[in-house]
Structure 1
Amino acid sequence: MAGVSLKCGDCGALLKSVEEAQEHAELTSHSNFAESTEAVLNLICTACGKPCRSKTESDLHTKRTGHTEFVDKTSESAKPISLEVPKAAVESDEQVDASTSSQSEEMIVPEVDKKLLEELELMGFSTARATRALHYSGNASVEAAVNWVVEHENDPDIDQMPLVPANTKVEAPKPTLTPEEVKLKAQELRERARKKKEEEEKKKEREREKERIRIGKELLEAKRIEEENERKRLLALRKAEKEEEQRAREKIRQKLEEDKAERRRRLGLPPEDPAAATPSAPVVQEKKSSLPVRPATKAEQMRECLRSLKQNHKEDDAKLKRAFQTLLTYIGNVAKNPNEEKFRKIRVTNPSFQERVGALKGGIEFLELCGFEKIEGGEFLFLARDKVDVAVLNSAGSELDSAIKNPFFGVL
């Protein structure tokens, strides 16, 4: 297949003709070119008609204008490349070679507008990039230089200082704007950069706020899960206590039955008939029901104390619930901080304590069941550090939680 372009072996750029290759060589000092069957792209923007020679140019055009639709007309413009240099070009090259051979030209940095160069440097551009942009944009304005940088930011020599022959006369660009307009334009660019920076800061602050909200939600969820697990643990502990109590009662009953059978055997009496013994059970139970039965475990005693407290003050439900909440706070503080004496010592004469707990019959008794003892003539309730029983405190907390949340607590 015939070659349709020239490819620079140094930077990979595709060129349509020998003339473009020569211009590329003069600008970049690249000299390694080869014929290629890859055609130079011809992408036409459907919105404004601008031709783009590569995908990079079309991407930059899209970024700058927002136009996204292009028509590929590469096949229409692709033609076999002619490697013959036009006669006029050959003559010109010969003249250049002759003049070069007679006198080597000195290359210097082109002169650019100092004020515009200073403006670009203040905007963050390097001196080489700002000088190149001003030189190739004709020293027209800061905006024109910035647009040139945007269009050529992917050039391999973008950060190299441009060089021109020393004898080249660079005509001073005709100012297209008055000094006042230049000042206003520079101020506008600075204001635009400031607003862009403020928008970025606001965006970062919104992201940080979202992150804080997310972390807060995660902490709340972790706390909820921890409380739920603690509640399940207390329920499992209460269930285990009830099962252990039931097993202990069963063992005592079996032991009593065995002792009774042993006594009958020693006395030479026949074994007791279970069928005959059953009718007497209700009678015995009925006789015992007339006497108060003291709860066997600490948890039952606490439950009975809270049930009595609720029965004695059932006319004021809000006051009763506040008392339960206060007791739960006292118990929770000691369970979480057993080494803190301030949580293990309560002034009985404190007006707040009296209003919430002390004035209610059964409030102080409940704290005493938890291990608190009256000291200093009954002025304080104190729980010694060596008498802190976490299991008892957990049982107390579980009973108080049930009294607060269960509407039928103390009714049945």
Structure 2
Amino acid sequence: MAGVSLKCGDCGALLRSVQEAQEHAELTSHSNFSESTEAVLNLVCATCGKPCRSKTETDLHTKRTGHTDFVDKTSEAAKPISLEVPKATADSGEAIDVDMSGSQPEEMVEPEVDKELLKELEAMGFPVARATRALYYSGNASVEAAVNWVVEHENDPDIDEMPMVPVSGGGGGGEASKSSLTPEEIKLKAQELRERARKKKEEEEKRMEREREKERIRIGKELLEAKRIEEENERKRILALRKAEKEEEKRAREKIRQKLEEDKAERRRRLGLPPEDPATTKSSAPVVEEKKSMLPIRPATKVEQMRECLRSLKQNHKDDDAKVKRAFQTLLTYIGNVAKNPNEEKFRKIRLSNQTFQDRVGALKGGLEFLELCGFEKIEGGEFLFLPREKVDMAVLNSAGSELTSAINNPFFGVL
């Protein structure tokens, strides 16, 4: 029986003519062909008439269109194959013999394709090599033709390799004569590819947004850490300052004590009395210390004035620690509200006749003085305490808050 097709010995593909064998060889670099009595399938869709050459093509067509009925016309289309090389191809020097034994190497280059069509295919999500191959082998006819070619060859192993053609070769289009998709299939395929490209773009935008959000979170953490370090350093500086002040106060008291002891010893010497017994001197030291502590000390700074005011308040009411602590906490609340909401007038205005205020602060000596040190002024005939917005000094308020916190938490505050 005469051969009705050419079979590729490398991949098993069945081809209808020598021209198809040449095109297959260009695409795959396969060179082992032989005659075969096995006919190329010709399954025609009973609904739209599209011919399919394999079971894979019929499955794909059914998936795209929903058509399931096919008529097998393989026997009608089968005819003896001619092994003659087309004259035009032979004259051009590009003929490929059936056994590929006479092929001559030529310089290969990338084919020229329509740039606008190439951009449109790339926008639909096709790789450059696949889009170039599709345009070249579909004859640069249209985007639909290129999509048709991709659908029919999407399982080719070299589908994503850049095609190479001889320098003397034409502009492609060898596949344009093959079976094509119906307009409905082309429209559905183009819509699917555009949807795929849109989803890919959305996913990329979401990924970039996640990256930007991570960067914002990282910067936020760095800023918070920098602020924490700054606050910690400020706290350490204040603690060091307070420690230095206490040391200075201790040294001053010690100098006063020594001076008193020297004066006392001098008086005893002048009166002819014997030196005082050290044990007696030691036991009386607290009395000297207490007398010394009653010496008036004029604060040099506003912070020291605040501290002295709070110390005086506690000493004036030392018999009622609960009342003193409640007064300190109330003052801290007033100061904290102003510091957090400096623009709110209701936090900067206090009615002096308010019974709660009087019970907690107003009736205690030193409470009003402390608020005045913070900037509050009496207005409307002494009916209100008011802190003008332009006189709100955050540094003074912070210092006042620190002094109140120290007075509340230090069990020895005001004892000395």
- Map of 2:188 onto structure 1: 184
Which residue of the other structure, out of 170, 176, 179, is the alignment partner of 1:175?
179
Listed as ranges, the matches of 1:23-102 within 5 Å are none
* Residues 97-147 of structure 1, C-alpha deviations (whole Å, 9 max, x = no match): 7x9xxxxxxxxx999999976852654889998555322368563571896
In structure 1, give the amino acid aligned to 2:187.
K
The answer (yes or no) to whether the contact 1:261–1:271 under 8 Å persists in 2 is yes
- Map of 1:326 onto structure 2: 334
Which deviates more from structure 2 when the two are superposed, residues 264-273 or residues 232-241? 264-273
Q: In 2, distance between residues paired with 1:236 and 1:226?
A: 15
In structure 1, give the amino acid aligned to 2:121.
L
Q: In 2, distance between residues paired with 1:123 and 1:161?
A: 29
Which residue of the other structure, out of 225, 230, 234, is the alignment partner of 1:230?
234
RMSD (Å) for aligned C-alpha atoms: 6.0
Listed as ranges, the matches of 1:290-369 within 5 Å are 298=304, 300-304=307-311, 307=314, 314=322, 321=329, 323-328=331-336, 330=338, 346-349=348-351, 361=364, 362-369=366-373
| 2:127 is aligned with 1:120 | no
Which residue of the other structure, out of 194, 217, 228, is the alignment partner of 1:213?
217
TM-score normalised to structure 2 length: 0.50
Deviation at 1:369, TM superposition (A): 4.5
Structure 1 residues 253, 282: CA separation in 2 closer, same or farther (over 3 Å shift)? closer
Q: In 2, distance between residues paired with 1:221 and 1:176?
A: 65
| 2:241 is aligned with 1:241 | no
* Residues 23-50 of structure 1, C-alpha deviations (whole Å, 9 max, x = no match): 9xxx9xxxxxxxxxxxxxxxxxxxxxxx
- Map of 1:194 onto structure 2: 198
Q: In 2, distance between residues paired with 1:174 and 1:114?
A: 24
- Map of 1:134 onto structure 2: 135
- Map of 2:169 onto structure 1: 164
Deviation at 1:222, TM superposition (A): 2.2
| 2:232 is aligned with 1:255 | no
Which deviates more from structure 2 when the two are superposed, residues 118-127 or residues 319-328? 118-127
- Map of 1:56 onto structure 2: none
In structure 2, give the amino acid aligned to 1:397.
G
In structure 1, give the amino acid aligned to 2:150.
A
In structure 2, give the amino acid aligned to 1:234.
I
TM-score normalised to structure 1 length: 0.51
Structure 1 residues 171, 273: CA separation in 2 closer, same or farther (over 3 Å shift)? closer
- Map of 1:144 onto structure 2: 150
Deviation at 1:186, TM superposition (A): 0.3
Structure 1 residues 233, 171: CA separation in 2 closer, same or farther (over 3 Å shift)? closer
The answer (yes or no) to whether the contact 1:402–1:409 under 8 Å persists in 2 is no
- Map of 1:398 onto structure 2: 402
Structure 1 residues 172, 363: CA separation in 2 closer, same or farther (over 3 Å shift)? same
* Residues 247-270 of structure 1, C-alpha deviations (whole Å, 9 max, x = no match): 011112222233344445556655
Deviation at 1:213, TM superposition (A): 1.9
Structure 1 residues 169, 240: CA separation in 2 closer, same or farther (over 3 Å shift)? closer
* Residues 135-191 of structure 1, C-alpha deviations (whole Å, 9 max, x = no match): 236856357189699957675x87x9986349x995742333110010000000000
Structure 1 residues 324, 225: CA separation in 2 closer, same or farther (over 3 Å shift)? same
Deviation at 1:376, TM superposition (A): 7.0
* Residues 40-65 of structure 1, C-alpha deviations (whole Å, 9 max, x = no match): xxxxxxxxxxxxxxxxxxxxxxxxxx
Q: Give the match's secondary structure for 1:398.
A: helix
The answer (yes or no) to whether the contact 1:375–1:382 under 8 Å persists in 2 is no
Structure 1 residues 172, 196: CA separation in 2 closer, same or farther (over 3 Å shift)? closer
- What number of residue pairs does the alignment pair up? 302
Q: In 1, distance between residues paired with 2:154 and 2:265?
A: 110
Listed as ranges, the matches of 1:382-393 within 5 Å are none
* Residues 59-116 of structure 1, C-alpha deviations (whole Å, 9 max, x = no match): xxxxxxxxxxxxxxxxxxxxxxxxxxxxxxxxxx99767x9xxxxxxxxx99999997
Which deviates more from structure 2 when the two are superposed, residues 178-187 or residues 129-138? 129-138
Structure 1 residues 411, 120: CA separation in 2 closer, same or farther (over 3 Å shift)? same
Q: Percent identity?
A: 54
Deviation at 1:236, TM superposition (A): 1.6
Q: In 2, distance between residues paired with 1:352 and 1:204?
A: 59
Structure 1 residues 381, 259: CA separation in 2 closer, same or farther (over 3 Å shift)? farther
Q: Give the match's secondary structure for 1:164.
A: coil
- Map of 1:18 onto structure 2: none
The answer (yes or no) to whether the contact 2:138–2:146 under 8 Å persists in 1 is yes
Structure 1 residues 110, 220: CA separation in 2 closer, same or farther (over 3 Å shift)? closer
Structure 2: which 5+ runs fail to align? 1-21, 27-88, 96-109, 140-144
The answer (yes or no) to whether the contact 1:373–1:382 under 8 Å persists in 2 is yes
Structure 1 residues 348, 121: CA separation in 2 closer, same or farther (over 3 Å shift)? closer
